[in-house]
Structure formats: structure tokens, C-alpha cells
């Protein structure tokens, strides 16, 4: 999955958190109160804002290190398609990629902590958020309920 609007960044770093905690759980949409769904909706808005801010930081790091976002994505794809294999690029570029990746991982770690706090600030546990997210991903009725709360 790539970030659009001319600037593409591998968003697995940022989107991963939403799915990090989600595992397939069979939950009925009726199992969630409007209050729980409102907390979830508020948390989702905060999570999305945190992710957007993190994406901007990641793009800045890439560009500040004289690499294009597109090239970073190409190198990232190589590492994911052939884990443990050497990256097919000049050594200087590989070193730059590794430095950038380390900085991005720091942003990701910070982002995950901030997202966890944002969820908990809505008086939701990570387990509750996970359960609602899993159900949301599978249940169109629940998606509609949450969308109405976001309006």
C-alpha cells in the first residue's frame, strides 16, 4: 500500500498499528453500545491524525537524506520480498536507506506509543479497541454505525 498525492511512502509503517492489534474475532455489531462506538470513533480520528503526522515526518526524513520517497519504497519492497537478501543498490545508497529506515522505525515506535495513549485516553482498552476494529472490518452494519458517529 502506498501513500498517494505525489508523495508515495510505504504506509505499512503507519497502517500496521491499526492491524497490529486486530485478529479475526467473531463479534456481533449489536454487542457494542453507542457509547463504546463513540469512543472508538473518537479514537480512530485521533489515530488517523497521528498517522498523518507521522507520515509527514517520515517523508521529511527520506527527503532530508537526499533520497526520493519512490526510491525508498523500491528499496523497502526489495527488503520485504527477499528478507535477509542483500539490497540490489550501490553500497552508499544501501547505507543511506538503512539510516533512514532506523529513523523511521523510531518514529513508528513513538507513533505506536502515542496511538496507544490516544486509545486509552478515550477510556478504551487496547483489547476493546481491537474487538471493535475487528468487528468493524467484517461488519457493514457496524461500519455504518461508526460512520454516522463520525459525521
From the number of C-beta atoms within 10 Å of its C-beta (0-12, 13-18, 19+), residue 4 rates as exposed
Distance (Å, whole) CA 35 – CA 115? 20
Alpha-carbon distance of 29 to 139, in angstroms, equals 7
User: How many angstroms separate the CA atoms of 116 and 44, rounded?
Assistant: 11
Which residues does residue 2 pair with via DSSP β-bridges, in sequence order? Answer: 10
Query: What per-residue confidence (pLDDT) applies to 111?
Result: 95
Q: CA-CA distance, 46 to 12, in Å (whole number)?
A: 18
d(CA 36, CA 74): 41
How many other C-beta atoms are found inside a 10 Å radius of the C-beta of residue 100? Answer: 21
pTM above 0.85, yes or no: no
Per-residue pLDDT of the chain (151 residues; tens, 9 = 90+): 333 333 334 343 434 444 444 444 455 556 899 999 999 999 999 999 999 999 999 999 999 999 999 999 999 999 999 888 888 899 999 999 999 999 999 999 999 999 999 999 999 999 999 899 999 999 999 999 999 988 8
Amino acid at each position: 500500500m502506498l501513500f498517494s498525492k505525489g508523495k508515495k511512502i510505504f504506509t505499512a509503517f503507519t497502517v500496521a498499528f491499526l492491524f497490529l492489534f486486530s485478529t479475526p474475532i467473531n463479534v456481533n455489531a449489536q454487542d457494542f453500545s453507542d457509547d463504546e462506538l463513540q469512543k472508538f470513533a473518537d479514537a480512530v480520528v485521533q489515530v488517523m491524525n497521528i498517522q498523518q503526522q507521522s507520515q509527514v515526518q517520515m517523508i521529511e526524513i527520506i527527503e532530508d537524506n537526499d533520497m526520493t520517497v519512490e526510491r525508498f519504497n523500491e528499496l523497502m519492497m526489495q527488503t520485504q520480498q527477499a528478507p535477509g537478501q542483500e539490497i540490489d543498490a550501490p553500497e552508499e545508497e544501501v547505507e543511506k536507506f538503512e539510516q533512514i529506515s532506523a529513523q523511521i522505525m523510531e518514529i513508528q515506535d513513538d507513533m505506536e506509543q502515542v496511538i496507544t495513549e490516544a486509545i486509552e485516553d478515550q477510556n478504551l482498552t487496547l483489547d476493546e479497541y481491537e474487538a471493535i476494529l475487528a468487528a468493524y472490518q467484517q461488519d457493514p452494519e457496524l461500519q455504518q454505525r461508526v460512520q454516522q458517529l463520525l459525521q
